[in-house]
């Protein structure tokens, strides 16, 4: 602060004041102004609000009262007192961040738009790591640390990165899908088990898994897979048999109430029809046969109140096949090979098209995944098989965590749901922490013991549980920001 200047008139003599009295008055005025200034300085130095409008996007808990929070715009904060106060970490980038995963209390990673950061001191300081390609092509949205050396990161269009050397180098474990297929290979979350197998899961438009760290991502698990046994047709026939028709109508009656389903039809061609009708002559006759069978089954579905817009046909006859022969001389032969089966039939498959946002599998083998429109999947065998659970809400679920006392999920409308029976049934929690604007909750984590949990969300919302997720409160009405890390 600059030197205090006193107006010359204060020191001037007049008939009512002696010079000594004037000087004394000036000194008193200066002392008063300095005191006010000191109070202003102290007010300025008080901790300010940590976040008013900042969206908190990810969290990791490394102890009962220790946690690291990532905000959408880039700052990272840590707490050692259960969220009563927070300290801002040293971060070497100004970039949007998306996810965090800690291998242990000291070491872990954060990822975001074209960036991977690593900490080795519990989140106080972060350093940038080298990507295996141009940073602007790698918008990373997920990270899962297996141990301090191994981790898997997830990006746009299905790209997967992995490291085996503490992040000194990252390599492509799965390349990005072509642009025209990107919509079918979008993933939102990655989770890896911290055991000898190091099995990992990708959750998004599908649920994919990899058996070990060295294998490729080649096992795809549909989110909801209900397969109606193939409906066989005799050679040259297009009508369903009475038995198949009754069976199909019963199947439709049992499943048409289920929301978010696609009824997928896929024709199969037996060797007798292929050899006698299609392969060595004009395929039009065989195309007509296949198309008639598709229409036969489609009619039964629509007559039984399945909306036509959710009926999808895979492998429909390529009537314009000649347009492709110049570019691919085996186009038609490939179609026959893909449709080949022991007998001519039509497959019907129900598939849930809802996108998953988060997946977790615990040491007991309980697996849970949540996603759009309240979708919940559950596994009892370590993620080998999954089944759909009744949706607890019509709103999106963004993240979940599994603790010893409860599983908890958070999502849109500021919602928080818990399950006390391993994900079979869910209940919505209400509390004073609900905001009138229903700001979304984005992430949740339990401490290593599972007793403490922290939830974060938009506009700086923070909730804490001290009873394993059974109840939640705001740890402090106005979280305060401590000084930066020294």
Query: What's the CATH number where 419 sits?
Result: 2.120.10.30
The last residue of a domain, from among 320, 352, 384: 352
- In the predicted model, what is the mean pLDDT of the chain? 83
Tell me whether residue 233 is in a domain: no
Distance CA 465, CA 486 (A): 30
Owning domain of residue 293: 259-352
What pLDDT, on the 0 to 100 scale, is given for residue 368? 96
Average pLDDT over residues 347-351: 85
For the chain, the domain total comes to 4
**Does residue 234 belong to any structural domain of this protein?**
no
Average pLDDT over residues 319-334: 87
Residue 25's pLDDT is 55
Is residue 207 a contact partner of residue 223, using CB atoms and an 8 Å limit?
A: yes
Model pLDDT for residues 398-445, shown as the tens digit of each residue = 999 999 999 999 999 889 999 999 999 999 987 665 665 578 999 999
User: How far apart (Å, rounded) are the C-alpha atoms in residues 33 and 43?
Assistant: 15
- Pair 56, 141 in one domain: no
Indicate if 325 and 373 belong to the same structural domain.
no
Same domain for 114 and 138, yes or no, is yes
Could you tell me the strand order of the sheet in which 407-411 lies?
A: 397-402, 407-411, 416-419, 427-428
259 vs 104: which has the higher pLDDT: 104
Q: pLDDT value at position 66? A: 96
Query: Per the domain annotation, does 187 fall within a domain?
Result: yes
Percent of the chain with pLDDT over 70: 80
What mean pLDDT comes out for the span 478-486?
A: 54
Which pLDDT belongs to residue 278?
A: 78
Percent of the chain at pLDDT above 90? Answer: 52
Regarding whether 196 and 128 lie in a shared domain, the answer is: yes
Query: Which residue's entry shows tokens 């996108």?
Result: 355
In this prediction, residue 52 carries a pLDDT of 57
Whether residues 95 and 183 fall in one domain: yes
Out of 172, 206, 222, a domain closes at 222
Least confidently predicted of 40-54, 326-340, 358-372: 40-54
Q: Which has more confidence, 116 or 261?
A: 116
24 pLDDT more than 80? no
Mean predicted confidence (pLDDT) in 113-133 = 95
Same domain for 112 and 24? no
In a domain, 348, yes or no: yes
Residue 135: pLDDT band with limits 50, 70, 90: confident
**Pairwise CA distance, residues 220 & 204, whole Å:** 11
Specify if 79 maps to a domain: yes
Is the pLDDT at 83 greater than 50, yes or no? yes
Residues 6+ apart with CB under 8 A from 59: 67, 68, 69, 70, 100, 443, 444, 445, 454, 455, 456
Please check whether residue 246 lies inside any domain of the structure: no
250 found inside a domain: no
Q: Does 477 lie in the same domain as 363?
A: yes
More confident residue, 421 or 6: 421
pLDDT mean over 51-61: 84
Domain-located, residue 339: yes
What is the per-residue pLDDT for 228? Answer: 74
Q: Is the pLDDT of residue 477 over 70?
A: no
Residues 332 and 391 in one domain: no
């Amino acid at each position: 602060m600059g030197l205090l200047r006193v107006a010359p008139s204060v020191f001037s003599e007049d008939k009512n004041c002696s010079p000594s009295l004037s000087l004394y008055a000036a000194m008193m005025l200066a002392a008063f102004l300095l005191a006010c200034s000191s109070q202003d300085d102290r007010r300025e130095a008080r901790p300010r609000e940590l976040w008013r409008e900042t969206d908190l996007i990810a969290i990791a808990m490394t102890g009962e009262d220790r946690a690291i929070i990532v905000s959408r715009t880039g700052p990272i904060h840590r707490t050692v007192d259960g969220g009563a106060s927070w300290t801002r970490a040293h971060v070497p980038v100004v970039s949007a961040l998306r996810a965090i995963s800690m291998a242990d209390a000291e070491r872990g990673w954060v990822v975001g738009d074209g960036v991977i950061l690593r900490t080795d001191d519990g989140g106080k300081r972060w350093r940038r790591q080298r990507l295996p390609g141009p940073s602007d092509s790698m918008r990373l949205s997920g990270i899962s640390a297996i141990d301090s050396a191994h981790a898997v990161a997830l990006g746009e269009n299905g790209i997967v990165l992995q490291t085996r050397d503490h992040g000194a180098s990252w390599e492509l474990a799965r390349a990005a899908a072509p642009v025209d297929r990107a919509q079918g290979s979008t993933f939102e979350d990655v989770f890896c088990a911290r055991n000898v197998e190091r099995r990992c899961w990708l959750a998004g438009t599908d649920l994919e898994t990899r058996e070990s760290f060295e294998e490729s991502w080649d096992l795809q698990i549909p989110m909801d897979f209900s397969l109606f046994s193939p409906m066989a047709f005799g050679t040259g026939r297009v009508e369903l048999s009475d038995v198949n028709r009754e069976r199909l109508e019963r199947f439709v009656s049992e499943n048409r109430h289920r929301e978010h389903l696609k009824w997928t039809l896929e024709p199969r061609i037996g060797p007798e029809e292929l050899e006698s009708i299609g392969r060595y002559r004009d395929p039009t006759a065989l195309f007509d046969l296949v198309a008639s069978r598709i229409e036969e089954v489609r009619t039964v579905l629509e007559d039984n109140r399945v909306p036509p817009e959710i009926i999808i046909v895979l492998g429909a006859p390529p009537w314009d096949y000649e347009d492709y022969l110049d570019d691919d001389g085996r186009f038609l032969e490939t179609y026959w090979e893909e449709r080949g089966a022991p007998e001519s039939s039509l497959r019907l498959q129900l598939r849930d098209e809802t996108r998953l946002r988060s997946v977790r599998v615990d040491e007991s083998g309980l697996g849970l995944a949540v996603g759009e429109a309240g979708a919940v999947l559950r596994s009892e065998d370590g993620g080998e098989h999954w089944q759909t659970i009744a949706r607890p809400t019509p709103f999106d679920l963004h993240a979940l965590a599994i603790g010893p006392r409860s599983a908890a999920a958070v999502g849109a409308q500021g919602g928080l749901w818990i399950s006390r029976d391993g994900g079979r049934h869910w209940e919505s929690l209400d509390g004073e922490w609900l905001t009138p604007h229903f700001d979304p909750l984005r992430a949740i984590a339990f401490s290593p013991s599972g007793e403490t949990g922290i939830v974060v969300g938009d506009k700086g919302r923070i909730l804490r549980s001290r009873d394993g997720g059974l109840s939640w409160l705001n740890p402090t009405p106005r979280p305060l920001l401590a000084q930066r890390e020294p």
